[in-house]
Amino acid sequence: MIQLTHVSKTFDDGRSFAVKDLSFHVDEGETLVLLGSSGCGKTTTLKMMNRLIETSSGTVEVNGKDIKDQEPVDLRRRMGYVFQEIGLFPHMTIEQNVEMVPRLLGWTADKQRRRTHELLELVGLAPKDYAERFPDELSGGQQQRAGVARALAADPPYLLMDEPFGALDALTREILQQELINLKKRLKKTIVFVTHDIFEALLLGDRIAILHQGRLQQIGTKKEVLAKPATEFVRDLFAKPARQLAFVKDSL
């Protein structure tokens, strides 16, 4: 469904690279997690998939078509996007926020309303309680649920998620992680999920792509990256939380 081939991105005419020679694919219905520390190229990679950032070289194909041959606005409407800052419009109600893309696509008012209420129910925000509220009347977790509903509003086949739960408290984050797993089972979307959290990656990913300094270190299933780390960086990355857990256990 999504294919990157020798993709690179430089912001300084080649003196340095945010992403270098990246090649991988995302299968239909799969959740691929892009894992790595801040500055490793995860978000840049995600944004190149929907042309929020243009590639410097290489190709990105979505559904077999080079994205450079597709209108950026049309491409983005087929890709739901959820990010950490949420980005709900504060002067709009939750219902108005969620129905924005369907409205731009020319859906009838009745169809917009039915779709919006269906999605609010799906993400655990009862329309009768939340549809007419404004974003500042919701908790952080509730706002993020609304953000997911908005990303799903036009029923896009792809969902790009850029550390969507990173700013939330641990309990809320855990709840939303589990709800995303449940949503995935019901909706069967193709998801690319960015995180720096190893446990989140292991929980959510069908496969994990590990990035370091703009380069792909390894891509594989959870079992593959844990059992057969391809590089010393991958080995150390997954060994650190194991050491931390052992330390906590020993100190009890």
> Where is average pLDDT lowest: 56-60, 116-120, 162-166, 228-232?
162-166
With cut-offs at 50, 70 and 90, classify the pLDDT of residue 230.
Answer: very high
Mean pLDDT for 173-179 is 88
What does the alpha-carbon distance between residue 191 and residue 224 come to, in Å, rounded to a whole number? 20
pLDDT surpassing 90 at residue 68: yes
Q: What is the pLDDT of residue 179?
A: 86
> Where is average pLDDT lowest: 12-26, 172-186, 219-233?
172-186
With cut-offs at 50, 70 and 90, classify the pLDDT of residue 242.
Answer: low
Q: What is the pLDDT of residue 176?
A: 87
Q: What is the pLDDT of residue 182?
A: 87
Mean pLDDT score across all residues of the chain: 90
pLDDT surpassing 90 at residue 252: no
Percent of the chain with pLDDT over 70: 95
What is the tens place of the pLDDT at every residue in 18-29?
Answer: 999 999 999 999
Mean pLDDT for 191-220 is 95
Domain boundaries, the chain: 1-73+160-167+190-252, 79-156
Q: What is the pLDDT of residue 213?
A: 94
Q: What is the pLDDT of residue 154?
A: 87
> 3-state class of 2 per DSSP?
strand
With cut-offs at 50, 70 and 90, classify the pLDDT of residue 187.
Answer: confident
Closest by Cα among 152, 90, 89 to 120: 152
Backbone region of residue 24 per phi and psi (left: phi > 0; alpha: psi in -120 to 50; beta: other values): beta
Backbone angles phi, psi at 57, to 5 degrees: -160, 165
What is the tens place of the pLDDT at every residue in 122-171?
Answer: 888 999 999 999 999 999 889 989 999 999 888 889 999 999 888 788 88
What does the alpha-carbon distance between residue 56 and residue 38 come to, in Å, rounded to a whole number? 21
Domain spanning 1-73+160-167+190-252 has what CATH number? Answer: 3.40.50.300
Q: What is the DSSP string of 36-90?
A: --TTSSHHHHHHHHTTSS--SEEEEEETTEEGGGS-HHHHHHTEEEEETT----T
pLDDT surpassing 80 at residue 251: no
Q: What is the pLDDT of residue 229?
A: 93
pLDDT surpassing 90 at residue 85: no
Q: What is the pLDDT of residue 249?
A: 58
Q: Is the distance from CB of 116 to CB of 122 less than 8 angstroms?
A: no
